[in-house]
Structures are given as structure tokens and as C-alpha cells.
Structure 1
Amino acid sequence: MSLTVAVSGASGYAGGEVLRLLLSHPEVEIGAITAHSNAGERLGSLQPHLHALADRVLQETTAEVLAGHDVVFLALPHGASGAVAAELELLSPGTLVIDAGADHRLRSPQDWEAFYGSDHAGTWPYGLPELPGQRAEIAGASRIAVPGCYPTTCLLALAPGFTAGVLVPEDVVIVAASGTSGAGKSLKPHLLGSEAMGSMSPYGVGGGHRHTPEIEQGLSQAAGEPVTVSFTPTLAPMPRGILATATARLKPGVDPAEVRAAWERAYGQERF
């Protein structure tokens, strides 16, 4: 039995990647594909690599268009998916909704308001099964918040050590380089080739990047106690990908062999 799947924000990088993955899934039928400013255009003119969907015309992103599918992916700008998700809850309560934006990731309304500057849309189960307790929560969920790009990288790197109790929860330092596609498709002067190629530039420094509270939230869940992080992101001249250098101190008396064993326990049998 195939599942019908709708994808909003299909003209962007995240939406295009979701469609690329779905096209190789043997049990998926692509339903509505939607956009905002690009509604009415052929998908092939915006995502030329998606040959099987090239002639599909992008529809407007509304809850009415997305309703009625088995699964809906929301690949919308931050702050945009909360309202659409709320409408979908009313129109299509049986639909599994997966939000690739940031709207439902943070548990703290105060953190959301401080870093994103709008009302908090609520908290959904966090879609990183490698964190303690998350696998069972995701399996029974009808709403899932996709982790952010930097948090995914940093949590996968450090969480096993905190889960095993071998790392000190203070003085965690992460410096990460990200490709330009992480900023989305919108035209921005600092993302022009003449600005970005051949150079690297830090941004969101001094704890100001929006992913800082999400990283601390996930590491604190792994540790079972508050974890504080110094996080510095940099823009690197590459189209996609993240290279994160994540460091934390060992707790006194920890056997170095136990450090390696912690990561082997966490990932030795993980298929991905």
C-alpha cells in the first residue's frame, strides 16, 4: 500500500531534497507540491534534477491543498509553518505532518521568542531518534519536528558522550562551517559568488545564532542535566554540507577506553 505525500516549499532547497528522497521510496505516491512566490510555475524550471516531476505545476501553499494526504512535509521559512499546521489539524487531523522548519523544535517558548522574535507555535516530538527516548516518541507521533542542520551535526557528534555520562556539561565548544545552501534560495548579497568564494566568514557569534538553544536542548536531554555551549558558525565557500569541530572535556577519572565504547554503543548498529 502506498502513502500519498504532499510537499510544501517544493521550490526551495529543503523541499527539493525531500522530493528527491521521496522519489526513490517504493511506497510513496507524490501528491500536491506547493510553493508561495513560485506558485503556478513548472517544478522542472526550478528543480531541474527532479525529472519525474518536471511537468508538475506548483500549487499555492494552503491547508486546503495539503489536506487529505497521508503525510505532509512543511519545508517553509521559519515562522510560516505554525499557522499552516494549525489549519491542517482542523482540516485533516489524521495526516502525519513533518515540519522541516524551526517552528516546533524548541520546548521553551522564551527561547523561541528571544531567538526568532514571534509567538511560539508549540512543541512537537523532536525527529532525532539517536537522542534518549526519542525513538519511541517519534514512532507514535502524528506531528514531527525535523532538527535543524547545525543541531543535527552537533548532537550526533556529542550526544553519545553525554548519554554515557563521560563528558562535562560546561565548556562545550563547537565551531562549524556550513555551505551556502543552508541560507536558502533567497538572493542575499553575502551569498553571491564574488562575496563567498575563496573566503570564510563567521556569523551569529557570541551565542546569538538561532540554533544555539536547540543544540543545548538536545545535549541537555542526552546528559540528563543542563549543558551550556559556545557555538560559532561560519559560512564556507561550498554549496552544501557542514563540518563541525565539537569539543568537550572528560569527567575526572573517566577511562579513555570508555569514551570510544560510548560512541560504539550509540552508533555501532545504526543503519544510517
Structure 2
Amino acid sequence: MQVMRAAVAGASGYAGGEILRLLLGHPEVEIGALTAGSSAGTPLGALHPHLTPLADRVIEETAVEVLAGHDVVFLALPHGHSAALAAQLPESVAVIDCGADFRLRDEQGWTTFYDTPYAGSWAYGLPELPVGGGGRQREALAGTSHIAVPGCYPTAVSLALAPGYAAGLLSGEDVVVVAASGTSGAGKSLKAHLLGAEVMGAMSPYGVGGGHRHTPEIEQNLSTASGPGAAGVRVSFTPTLAPMPRGILATCTARLLDAASGTDAAGIRDAWAMAYADEPFVHLLPEGQWPSTASVLGSNCVHVQVTLDERVGRVVAVAAIDNLTKGTAGAAVQCMNLALGLPETTGLPMAGVAP
């Protein structure tokens, strides 16, 4: 098989560095241009010393002429920066965008939560997402040339709850999510509230009161799982910052539909087990074992557990991911594999790093 040349725009950041870590182990990819903004001219090893095989590579300016001669370009850029660059790249280049620019199908959802013009939507890169009425989101990804990688929180939350919506078990009202993320989810820019002295030994909420930008994406995904004709899903989402570099733990609850009120905990578990039985990266844990961010560190896997709080008629689903791997870079490589006709699991780690 012909080796694909891949470029990474935004190689200086956490997401860009994680994409490069995974591509170094990908047997069908040759790493081409590495680009960034203010870091142009800097050796990669000064920014990502852990990427030893690429340490001497010099970061170039992010420009169309630098990126155009590749089979695939990963855009690991701040939100609002991908659309203009992507529009200038040749149609022959597969573009995998790790930003938010093309994730939302609803323009109003974008303009409500973001401060840049709506750029439209691309194929949404969450292959495992059940689609109401049958099928998976991966069917929209094979052979496509433009893919929007999901946000990290939406990945965890959507995969935690989607089986219940696909099975017609959950109400779209009164969905409550509280999720904790490591500090790398905020990017690499210096911010006072992310200093070690502020984060160590502390947890704090942010984006409280429905203001987090991932809210419409989560609602879009769960509504997709519900299928056409079902009522839309509304989510109360509260993110929190945890004193760890990587990882997301999402605790998600939703009421049972009245029509599903006779479903017991075993029936709930069966729905999740059926949904993910053939998914290589989504693992429903044995009963009684709950997800931990430490168990998925460095892997492209999602650990999920689900139960029923029978007293109040609510399903409780918990998911753990590494926000930089399955939450961003691993998803990007997974989507690239589908877009280029490679086996979906190629080059992606199944095992985490412990302790």
C-alpha cells in the first residue's frame, strides 16, 4: 500500500504533539510538514521533547503552499482558524479538523456559543455514535475528504448516553452532565488559573449555567442517536477542572421515558452491551467496575459503565477517556484511517499506560 504523507498544522500545541506521537507509530504514514504560528523556526524538540524521532525537525509557517502537497492535513488550530485555511487547500487533500469550526450542523447553535462566522458543517468524526433508525456515524466517514473531529467532552458524554437514546429508553429532557477534565484540555497558552499553584490540590467548575461551547455539540449527538422524529435532547452541562494533565471523567444522568419505565438495570445494561459489542475502542466494563481516567491514559479507548437508579428512574452512565488521545488526536487518526480506506484501528493504541 502507498504510504500517505501527512502534515500537521498547529504542531506546537498539545493536540498537534499528540497527533505526531500517534503518527510516529502509524505504518502507513510518513510525517511531512510541521507548522505553527509564533513557533515557526523553532525545532520541534524544544516544544515536544518527548517526540525524540522528530526533535530536529524545524516548525514552518502555517501556509497553504507548505501544506498543499500532502495526502492528508491535520488542523490542530484554535477555534475559528481552520475554515479560511481549509478553503484554500486543494480538493485532493484530505483535511481532518480538530477544531470546532465544522462540527455543528445548526448555524444558530454556532452563533450562540462562538464569536466567529459560521463556516458550515463537515462529516462528523465520531465513528461509534449510533444513528437513530440504525447504523453508525462511521458510515458517513469512509472515503470522505473533510472531517470534523469531535470535541473531547462531547466524545465522552455522547458515547456514555447514546445507546439509551438509540434504544428509545431515555427522555430528552432533564439530562444532567457533570464532567471533569485535565488541564491540557485548555490548551498550551499560559493562563493564570492553570498555573500549578492554582490547580494542584484543587477542583473548580467553569462554564457554569449552560455556557460551555460543547453544549450544542452534545445535544446534536444525542439527538442524532435518538433519530428523526424523536424529540430533541436538552442537556445541562457543567464542566470542572481537575488537578491532572490529561483525562476526562463524565458522569451523565437521564430520566427513563415513561414508555420504558418497566426496564430494569439488566435491561439497561443489555442496551449498552449491544450498542458497543463490536466497537474496538469502546469498552463496557464488567458490572461493579467503574471507569477511571488512569486506565485509559495514552489509549484511544473509552471505558463506560451504566446503571439504573431505580428509586428516581434515572440512568447513570459514566465514561472515561484521555482527552488528548480518543478525545482529539486518536479520533483524528481514526477518522483519517476511515477517510483513506485503511483499517480503522491502524496505528492506534488499545492499551493505556499504568501506573
Common fold: TM-score over 0.5: yes
Query: Which residue in 2 is equivalent to 1:191?
Result: 194
Partners of 1:93 and 1:223 in 2: CA distance: 33
- Please tell me whether the aligned partners of residues 166 and 254 of structure 1 are also in contact (alpha carbons under 8 angstroms): no
TM-score (norm 1): 0.97
Stretches of structure 2 lacking an aligned partner (at least 5 in a row): 282-355
Matched, 1:232 2:238: yes
Q: How much does 1:258 deviate?
A: 2.5
Partners of 2:109 and 2:273 in 1: CA distance: 33
User: What amino acid sits opposite 2:88 in the alignment?
Assistant: E
**SS across alignment from 1:175:** strand
User: What amino acid sits opposite 1:193 in the alignment?
Assistant: G
- Please tell me whether the aligned partners of residues 204 and 232 of structure 1 are also in contact (alpha carbons under 8 angstroms): yes
Q: Which moved more, 1:132-141 or 1:33-42?
A: 132-141
Stretches of structure 1 lacking an aligned partner (at least 5 in a row): none
Query: Which residue in 2 is equivalent to 1:14?
Result: 15
Give deviations 1:128-170, integer Å, cap 9, x for gaps.
0122241111113110000001000100100111111111111
Query: Which residue in 2 is equivalent to 1:121?
Result: 119
Partners of 1:10 and 1:178 in 2: CA distance: 22
User: What amino acid sits opposite 1:241 in the alignment?
Assistant: G
User: What amino acid sits opposite 1:271 in the alignment?
Assistant: P
TM-score (norm 2): 0.75
Partners of 1:170 and 1:5 in 2: CA distance: 43
Matched, 1:71 2:72: yes
Q: How much does 1:254 deviate?
A: 4.0
2:164 paired residue among 161, 165, 181: 161
What aligned pairs does 1:238-253 form with structure 2 within 5 A after superposition? 238-252=244-258, 253=261
Give deviations 1:54-84, integer Å, cap 9, x for gaps.
1000000111111021110000000001111
Partners of 2:47 and 2:262 in 1: CA distance: 52
1:181 paired residue among 184, 193, 202: 184
Partners of 1:70 and 1:261 in 2: CA distance: 41
Partners of 1:98 and 1:230 in 2: CA distance: 29
**SS across alignment from 1:139:** coil
Give deviations 1:62-109, integer Å, cap 9, x for gaps.
111110211100000000011110111xxx211110000010001111
- Please tell me whether the aligned partners of residues 205 and 232 of structure 1 are also in contact (alpha carbons under 8 angstroms): yes
Partners of 1:122 and 1:63 in 2: CA distance: 20
Give deviations 1:11-65, integer Å, cap 9, x for gaps.
1000000010111001100011101010000001100111111100000011111
Query: Which residue in 2 is equivalent to 1:42?
Result: 43
Query: Which residue in 2 is equivalent to 1:51?
Result: 52
Query: Which residue in 1 is equivalent to 2:98?
Result: 100
1:204 paired residue among 198, 207, 211: 207
Query: Which residue in 1 is equivalent to 2:107?
Result: 109
**SS across alignment from 1:221:** helix
Q: How much does 1:124 deviate?
A: 0.3
CA RMSD of aligned residues (A): 0.9
Equivalent residue pairs, number:
269
User: What amino acid sits opposite 1:128 in the alignment?
Assistant: L
